[in-house]
Amino acid sequence: MAEPLQFLVDRLATPIGELLIVADRAGKLRTIDWTDHEARMRLLLDRQYGKGAYTITAARDPGGLTRTMRAYFKGDIAAIDGLPVETAGTPFQTSVWRALRRIKSGRTISYAELARRIGKPKAVRAAGLANGQNPISIVVPCHRVIGSDGSLTGYGGGLPRKQWLLEHEGALSGPGGPRSADS
């Protein structure tokens, strides 16, 4: 039997709740989620790596990731752009997650645009489902995907957090609504 993966977890207080930051020993981000969704986070990890195939140990600032996330929440939005990530999704999921990382901060795209960007324009629902299975919120910015009508939809951390993140990044332009990637 293979040795379980060893993950390290730290906690970060943010303006919108406490964040769990999980990294591997190489300093790659494996998951980020809110402490009020820890059960969901563990379920996603079980799904990706297998139940009992990993351990999680508390650690202070694994790989400097907590410090970087703190900088993001203090206003250095670009701080997260180059963070190393590692996921274990399907090829389709990982293609969606790569596309999410290419959405510039301060911008939003629709689920239809996300599907187009991965070369599967008819796979809007599948792209939406993969977006929802993203284990590394904020850094793999699933919050930057909105409804075609500009509505804020589908964020696992809750719509108030999605709205806060988009405002924090300058993607919500007040009464005019979200700033799309095309504007």
181 classed as catalytic? no
Would you give the distance in Å from CA 144 to the centre of its chain? 10
Angle at 104 between CA 100 and CA 107, to 5 degrees: 100
Residue 24 CB neighbours (<10 A): 17
Q: Which is catalytic among the residues 142, 145, 146, 152?
A: 142
| Segment holding 114, helix H or strand E | helix 111-117
| Segment holding 96, helix H or strand E | helix 91-101
Residue 139 CB neighbours (<10 A): 24
Residue entry with tokens 């998951």: 31
> Which active-site residues does the annotation give?
142
